[in-house]
Amino acid sequence: MVKLLTSVFCALLGCGGAAAIDLNGLRSIGPVASFVKADSSVTLSCADGSQVRITVLAPDLIRVRAAFLGKLPDRDHSWAIEKSSWDVPHWDLAEDSGALRISTAELEVVVHRSPLQIEFRDVKTDQTINADQSPMRFDPQSGVVAAAKKLGFDEHFYGLGEKATRLDKRRGEFTMWNSDTFGYQEGTDPVYQSIPFYIGWQHGAAYGVFFDNSYRTHFDFGASSQEYAAFSAEGGEMNYYLFQGPSIKKILARYADLTGHMPMPPMWALGNQQSRYSYYPDSLAEEVVRKYRADDLPLDVLHLDIHFMNAFRPFTWDPQRFPDPKAFTDRLRAQGVKVVTIVDPGIKLQPPAEGARDAASHPELAPQDQSYYVYNQGKAQDFFLKRKDGGTYIARVWPGESVFVDFTLDRAASWWGDLHRAYTDNGVAGIWNDMNEPSDFNDQTGKSQMDVVTYDGGTYSAYAGNRNVFALNEARATYQGLQRLLPNQRPYVITRAAYAGIQRYATMWAGDNRSTWDALALSLPMFMTLGLSGEPFVGSDVGGFVGRADAELLVRWYQVGFLTPFCRNHAAMDSPDHEPWRYGKYYEDIIRKYLKLRYRLLPFLYTVLEESHRTGVPMFRPLLLNYQEDENTLGIDDEFMIGDDLLVAPILKPNLTARLVYLPPGVWFDYWTGARHEGSRMVHVEAPLETVPLFVRGGSILPLGPEQNYVGEKPADPLQFEIYPDARGEASTLLYEDDGLTEAYRHGSFRQTSVSYRHTPAGDRIDLRVPAGEFHPAPRDLLLTVRPATTVRQVLIDGKSQGRAATVRIKDDGQSHRIELR
């Protein structure tokens, strides 16, 4: 009871930190009194007046929604859900004196009548995959709702979005409450994002639970009890979705169906990015780009932090530091560099001076000291958040006293999106949403915001249930605004805070991390966890944001960052410089090596990115995701995989030049030496500072492009395929390509090129199939090489002798071809 009271006390005072879930003192829902079957659901009426609805959305997806001591409300809305209309699959309902049984092709849902407890079973194995340990519970006074699930003896837990902790969450307790956590470290909780979705694993089989409740929620994976794993919320409904696996990849695909698939970002988002808090004036920003080009370092994006604005006012430009922003962005774009600008949600509270007027055209370039056009427009249209008493909610952030847009109001969200004309008209290519928990310098806990209300479909709902979706709705407004302002260009939005569904609108980075070895090591499980929570495009500040990175740490950080989807070097205003050249030529040469390798790998990375878009399976993966039946991978979070084919085991501590690497089942090839290794074992790998342990899965074919200074600088000519056979002498790939910039990929303008390899007694055979799709790349050659290299006496292309060569060159003519190596 003490823990429960502590939890409620913290809810009222806005305390940080996770709270264990103690079910004592909470009231149990009543037993089933009657039920009604509908087209896709069964609604249970309980003896205490509560109501529970179990809805069949798909054979592997069940929704459970409960209202305590009353009926379910008619309004059924979630900002996280994209797909609300489902084709009802075949399902059956049976009953006996003790239970109701709902059956689909994959799941059996057993609803025990008294007490009301729900059990989910795998139809194929007849095994229980998830079951209530006790009836759902609630507190009529505080509004707390809770569910407790039986804790499996060998059950492991993954997910929950951005968590500053290790990969496996068993025995942990966590809170969802978007929080500005500058300089966080391992164990800090909560942090910036709230993704209340987790995956349970036991004996090789997995299930998922998405607790779609945007109030402050808590998760307890066996921290309080040996008997249960629980989740609770400090208000709102008991509303969760159960996903049946047993494959984790299948669960992630269904979660993406429910909450939305990541759209394809522009291909240049995979390029190297550089930032600092802050680069100004424009001449200094241009000098950074000049240095990149002079030092032959690839660069695609330069970020502008808050000092480019006029006294930190969003949607303005500082007239002294950036007097002609369009000319500035044009000069950078001519060098292949796009500009991304930060946008904070806090609008400076600035009533206009008497008689002041806003500029009729390009107000973002005008002086703002007498009249700030953004505040004036928002105030006139009543778009700012209010308190219950009708007063405007005022916080303090970078501009000083500030107000915030109610993004749940459609007209306000549309206005916010259109404000980005201040950037797009001046050549800005992407938007970086920061401080959007939202942060308040006066109160980081949210306590002072609890009487704020949001429009929320006319319900004027409490801020307690909307803080966690503030950033999601800001990202939505931003993304849709960029769609209008730059039609047929892919919007690029980066966010710090988020709720479930954020992948529809934004990529993310892991906030204000530290320049320490511990922070580098922590970034790996954070990226993995985000990927297992439906966010495929993630990254963190290379070198760390807060503090001093030395040369060794920076190099080792790049040896992770060069394969992280979002690759950006960034540092705080009062932190020492750590751009790639800051420590001398030796270290810069190593960083250049990895950045150039990233660009050579772009065809592979972009193919994996499209897989993430299509399937919901992330780019940056724990070994567990690809090898979930291998129990050795359950807790490995100091190695990672990119897609199915690359395994990286970075050095995460200082002064180390070797490490042990676990290789999962199969055949693996050392990328640097070509050495072949059998999997299911540890191998000792030398790793001097110049080298990160990097392995290629046997059975894969890596597509590689040319070295480039920026994405699109050169056509992918030649396009190389490096073939790594598995134990059976086979390998394959399906290369994905499109124009990398527009929405045409959604309408069939893409290309998929299938390449397969097989070793036979007569020699090696490579098959190129006719590509699928309507996209046509520029003319080019294809290079095909088997690794490790073998002696080739004769090459036949479509039966015709072409001499002898270890690497085969062939025109990419869009036709099928058979290549034989003898």
Active site (catalytic) residues: 434, 437, 512
Judge whether 645 and 721 are in contact, CB under 8 Å.
Answer: no
Query: CA separation (Å) from 436 to 178, 181, 259, 343, 471?
Result: 9, 12, 21, 9, 5
- DSSP state for residue 425 in the 8-state scheme: T
- Residue 177's nearest CA partner among 222, 219, 230, 225 is 219
Residue 528 parent element (H or E): helix 517-531
Calpha distance 779→680 (Å, rounded): 43
> Hey, is 755 helix, strand or coil?
strand
Contacts of 39 (CB under 8 A, 6+ apart): 88
- Residue 221's nearest CA partner among 143, 177, 165, 180 is 165
Tokens of residue 202, six digits: 């036991």
Angle, helix 585-600 to helix 602-615, in steps of 10 degrees: 60
> Hey, is 489 helix, strand or coil?
strand
Calpha distance 227→218 (Å, rounded): 17
Angle at the Cα of 212 from the Cα atoms of 210 and 216, rounded to 5 degrees: 115
Quick one: 495 exposed, middle or buried, by C-beta within 10 A (0-12, 13-18, 19+)? buried
Tokens of residue 485, six digits: 């302002």
Query: Tell me, what amino acid is at 248?
Result: I
Tokens of residue 243, six digits: 């996903």
Query: CA separation (Å) from 388 to 130, 133, 213, 214, 450?
Result: 41, 39, 22, 20, 9
Calpha distance 209→203 (Å, rounded): 18
Judge whether 119 and 128 are in contact, CB under 8 Å.
Answer: yes
Quick one: 655 exposed, middle or buried, by C-beta within 10 A (0-12, 13-18, 19+)? exposed
Judge whether 809 and 760 are in contact, CB under 8 Å.
Answer: no
Calpha distance 454→463 (Å, rounded): 7
Query: Tell me, what amino acid is at 689?
Result: L
Angle at the Cα of 491 from the Cα atoms of 488 and 497, rounded to 5 degrees: 160
Q: In what order do the strands lie in the sheet with 99-103?
A: 92-95, 99-103, 107-112, 117-122, 128-131
- Residue 223's nearest CA partner among 288, 271, 173 is 173
